[in-house]
Amino acid sequence: MSKNIPGTDAHWEDGTLGTSLEHAEISPNRLEDIDDALAMQSISIRLSRSLIDDLKILAEINDLGYQPLIRRVLTRFVEGETKQLLRDNASLLRKKGVKTSDHTQSDKKRA
C-alpha cells in the first residue's frame, strides 16, 4: 500500500517529498541546452567574500538566490548606463545643432 503525503510547500522544503532515489531519473536536458534556450552563458568572476556575503543577505531579503540578484544588478546597471550614454550623446548632438528625435517630436507638438 502506498502512502500519500500531501504536496505542501513544507513537505517539499523539509525533504519529505522529492528526495526518494527510487523515483529519481536523470534529466534528458543538458545544461548547455538549457543555457541555449535561455540565451545564457556561464562565466567565472572573482568577488570578495564580504561582497558575496552582502549579496546573499540582499538576495534573501528580496527572496532570490544571490546569482539571480547579481544578474538583476548587472542588468539594471547596463540599462542605466546605456540610457545615460544615449542622453549624453543626444545632448552633444543638440549642442552641435544636429536635430535628434527628441527635437523632432517636440517640433511636431509645436506645429
Instruction: Looking at 1-111, list the stretches that DSSP marks H as alpha helix, in order from N- to C-terminal side.
Output: 9-13, 31-38, 49-61, 66-95, 101-110
The predicted structure's pLDDT at residue 106: 52
Burial of 100 (0-12, 13-18, 19+ CB in 10 A): middle
The predicted structure's pLDDT at residue 24: 80
The predicted structure's pLDDT at residue 111: 53
Q: Are 7 and 17 in contact (CB under 8 A)?
A: yes
Q: List the chain pLDDT tens, one digit each, 111 residues.
A: 457 888 888 888 888 888 888 878 887 878 888 888 888 888 999 999 999 999 999 999 999 999 999 999 999 999 999 999 999 998 888 888 887 665 445 555 555
Whole-angstrom Cα distance, residue 36 to residue 96? 44
The predicted structure's pLDDT at residue 1: 46
List the one residue out of 56, 59, 38 whose CA is nearest residue 48: 56
Whether the full predicted model's pTM is greater than 0.75, yes or no, is: no
Pull the grid cell for residue 73: 544588478
Number of neighbours of residue 31 by Cβ within 10 angstroms: 9
